[in-house]
Each structure stands twice: as C-alpha cells, then as structure tokens.
A and B are shown apart, each in its own frame.
Chain A
C-alpha cells in the first residue's frame, strides 16, 4: 500500500530530523537545530495530509514553519549566538535523563500495545472539511477562540514591553 510506505518514510524522516534538532553530532549551532525543526515540521505536515487533515497541514507549514520558526531564526541571528561550547557532560545528569525519558517511552509504548486502542474502531472515513471547521470555530468553540485572541493580545503587549530597547 502506498500510504503505508509513505507513513513509514515520513515517520522515519520525522524521527531522524527530530533527533537532529536536539542532538546533532556534527554541529552545536542553534541555527542548525532550528532548520532541522523546520524539516521535522514539514514532514509532520506530510503525516497530517496522510491523516486527511489538509487544513491543519497547511496551518502547520504556514504558522509553524513559516512564522514561529522564522521568529526563532530571527532571534538566533539577532543575538548572533556562537556555537554552543562543548561542555563536559555531567554523566549522572545525562544517565538520569536518558533513563527517565526511556522509561517513560517504554512504559507508554508497552501500555499502548497492551490496550490496542484501535482494535474496535471502524475504518477511517473522515475528511478534514475546512468549511465545517470554520463553522464550529465560530459557533460552539467561539469562546476558547476569543480567549486565545485575548492571549495573543497579551503576548503582543508583553513581547513589546519585554524586548523594547530603551528603559524609559
């Protein structure tokens, strides 16, 4: 099946790019991390398309890759960050981190496989319909939508106040 193969390819790309975001053996430069995050996000948009969430795939590319990541890159370049120095890795911290994260994933995957949530579910039929989505966003879900708009206003005011240069 073509979609199955596409899923595995996109999943592998997402994981590889995601791993390169946080632990890149070749470069400690924050710009590299940010660029790999863009690639991760684009492969995830591909997964969204596979799941028939076309609108969200577009939003993912436009908002995340287009706006949020540009903001990240902009700040990294504005601050002119040099490559992060290779510090002595605190072995205890690293081991504790890896063990705890690994334990979470292991327990989670095991419980996921144990419960088999998809066994009793019907075959997928849905299509992400943008018109219905818009209708719901402006009727039943209007309230959280408006609260998010207040949140964006607050964030805008806050960002201007926090990053303004002069202290007068």
Chain B
C-alpha cells in the first residue's frame, strides 16, 4: 500500500464514521461532534496531499486547513449556543423531539 493511498483511505473511513454519527445519532451535540470528525477527515486529506504533492513548498493546502479549523470553531460555537437556547425551551437536545415545523 502506498503511503498517500493509506492516508486517503484512513481519511475516507474517518469521514464515513463522522457521517454515520451525524446521520444516526439523535443528540444534537453528538451530531455536531460527528460533523467535526468529518471536517477533521478533510483536513487530514489536505495535509496528506500537501506532503506528497509536487510543489510542497507552496503550502496552500496547509493554509486551507488553517481556514477550515477557524471556520469549524466558529460553526461549533454558534451551534452550541443554539443548542443551549433550544434546551431552555424544550429541555432536550434530541433533534427528533424538536419538530414543530412540518408539512
């Protein structure tokens, strides 16, 4: 197994684990944690591709990871604030029980 393919397969599996968590768990916090796993898998992809790229001195992949980490932090913060607000009203963080809007 070539090293790059190893990293890519690892990242694909991690992405799938995160996706499965986000789709099957009902607790909104765990759903967010699953999404964090997916973003981490993407970051691993970037770094692996950067390391094995033809122009590693360009560092563009690493820069993108920095932006991605920053955005993920902002997203997590807003998500958790929303979950706190939801919890005050519903006394739950279960996404199945938050279903006023439908039709």
Contact = CB atoms under 8 A, between A and B. Distances in A.
Task: Establish whether A and B are touching in the complex (CB under 8 Å).
Answer: yes
Interface of A: 4, 7, 11, 14-15, 18-19, 21-23, 30, 33-34, 37, 40-41, 44, 47-48, 51-53, 55-56, 59-60, 63-64, 67-68, 71-72, 75-76, 78-79, 81, 84, 87, 93-94, 97-98, 101-102, 104-105, 108-109, 112-113, 116-119, 121-122, 124-126, 128-129, 132-133, 136-137, 141, 144-145, 148, 151-152, 154-156, 158-159, 162-163
Given A118-B4, A158-B78, A132 B59 contact: yes
Contacts of A11: 6, 10
A33 B47 contact: no
Contacts of A137: 63, 66
Given A60-B43, A68-B36, 6 more contacts: A47-B10, A81-B29, A112-B5, A117-B5, A155-B78, A158-B81
A148 B21 contact: no
Contact of B33 (A34, A47, A104, A145): A34
Contact of A71 (B18, B20, B27, B80): B80
5 contacts: A47-B7, A72-B33, A105-B13, A121-B52, A159-B78
Contacts of A128: 59, 62
A34 to B, nearest CB: 7
B33 A159 contact: no
B18 A97 contact: no
A21 B50 contact: no
A155 B77 contact: yes
Interface string B19-56: 11101111101101110110010011001101111101
B47 A30 contact: no
B24 to A, nearest CB: 5
A87 to B, nearest CB: 7
A98 to B, nearest CB: 7
A53 B50 contact: yes
Contacts of B19: 101, 104
B6 to A, nearest CB: 7
A95 B26 CA distance: 16
Contact of A121 (B33, B54, B65, B69): B54
A23 B33 CA distance: 12
A48 to B, nearest CB: 6
Given A121-B54, A126-B56, A162-B82, A56 B37 contact: no
